Amino acid sequence: MLHNDRIEEASSRTLSPGQVGLLSGWGVFSTLRVAEGVLFAFERHYERMRRDAAKLRVSLPMDADSMLANLLRLTEANEAWQATMRVCVVRNRGGIWEGPGVTTDSDLIAFTTDLRAWPEQVSLGMKAAARYAASEFTGTKVLSWAPNLVWYEEARSRGFEDMLLLDERGDVSECTSANIFAVFGDTACTPPLSSGCLPGVTRALLLTEVHADGARVIEQTLTPADLEKADQVFITSTTRDLLPVNAIEGLTIRNTSAVVSILEDAIVRYRASYNASHAARRPAGNSGR
């Protein structure tokens, strides 16, 4: 793992309960896709972490260039050329439970794991009032992730792959770790950030940079009833790309559109182009395999 600017064994005891963020969930994180040794869309991940950290009063321990350099060192050390990377910034000071010996305001912690084999389609349970869209901290990717993990476990225990989360108004927001889209004709609609959803990087790319003939992407408020009217429903995340939804608890879902396939091909092409243009960022030990 990476601990600030040091590569260490993941089993090493380098963290302390006195780092208030570890016991309070006070910090921010992002999950990146490592593709051919390149940290895909790193700039967007860093900018979201920077923005969320400012809102949560967490100081980032290094700038974008320094963080990238250290993360690439971790990629090389783990030979994680095709992998998933979790990057966390933990606040160390504040409150009444700060322990002795804390020397920095925050710590960077990062580690990698193999890419997960996701199913070709997913089914979703449904959870009412799971997102409070009016919160000051709506849209921040905070370390305090326990509710999402509980809902994900509940979904799995009930035979679903994930949980569809509604906001306090009953509108569709997102899943526990994915954004959701509904297709009407050639248009894929995703809930606006005012629904309480996180600004996912794949979601943002589809809205702003990834373009494909035969498909367009917009923000639009969605209700569960809208999902039943849609020609297709799919979810997106950094690790999943795009996955069609074949069932949602209590709803009848159709899958009669080619838009998800069109957009999936477009995101794959975009990533290949991004990797080619950022080839110089590959670790020295990787040749693009």
CB atoms within 10 A of CB 54: 13
CATH number at residue 259: 3.20.10.10
CATH number at residue 76: 3.30.470.10
164 shares a domain with 84: no
Q: What is the structure's pLDDT at 103? A: 85
73 shares a domain with 44: yes
181 shares a domain with 203: yes
284 falls within a domain = no
103 shares a domain with 159: no
Question: Within its chain, how far is the Cα of 1 from the centroid?
Answer: 19
85 shares a domain with 22: yes
How far apart, in Å, are the Cα atoms of 250 and each of 126, 176, 194, 228, 236?
A: 8, 18, 25, 10, 22
Buried b (16+ CB within 10 A) or exposed e, 143-173: beeeebeebbeebeeeebbbbbbbbeeebbb
Residue range(s) defining the domain that contains residue 98: 2-114
Q: What is the structure's pLDDT at 12? A: 81
135 shares a domain with 82: no
CA distance 99 to 42: 33
268 shares a domain with 141: yes
282 falls within a domain = no
270 shares a domain with 128: yes
8 A C-beta contact, residue 70 and residue 76: no
**Final residue before a domain boundary, out of 95, 114, 133:** 114
101 falls within a domain = yes
Domain count, the chain: 2
185 shares a domain with 80: no
Q: What is the structure's pLDDT at 288? A: 44
Buried b (16+ CB within 10 A) or exposed e, 76-97: bebebbebbbebbbbbbbeeee
254 shares a domain with 132: yes
CB atoms within 10 A of CB 53: 20
CA-based diameter of the chain, in Å? 60
**Final residue before a domain boundary, out of 114, 133, 153:** 114
Q: What is the structure's pLDDT at 185? A: 97
147 falls within a domain = yes
Q: What is the structure's pLDDT at 241? A: 95
145 shares a domain with 14: no
**Final residue before a domain boundary, out of 114, 140, 174:** 114
Of 245, 113, 19, the closest CA to residue 4 belongs to 19
Which pTM was predicted? Answer: 0.93
283 falls within a domain = no
127 shares a domain with 101: no
Q: Which residues of the chain have pLDDT under 70?
A: 284-289
288 falls within a domain = no
286 falls within a domain = no
CB atoms within 10 A of CB 51: 15
Q: What is the structure's pLDDT at 141? A: 96
Residue with tokens 């373009």: 211
Q: What is the pLDDT of residues 117-175, one digit of tens each?
A: 999 999 999 999 999 999 999 999 999 999 999 999 999 999 999 999 999 999 999 99
Segments of the chain assigned E as strands: 2-3, 6-7, 27-35, 38-39, 83-91, 106-114, 122-131, 162-167, 172-175, 179-184, 187-190, 216-219, 232-237, 241-248
281 falls within a domain = no
Per DSSP, 140 falls in state -
Q: What is the structure's pLDDT at 286? A: 58
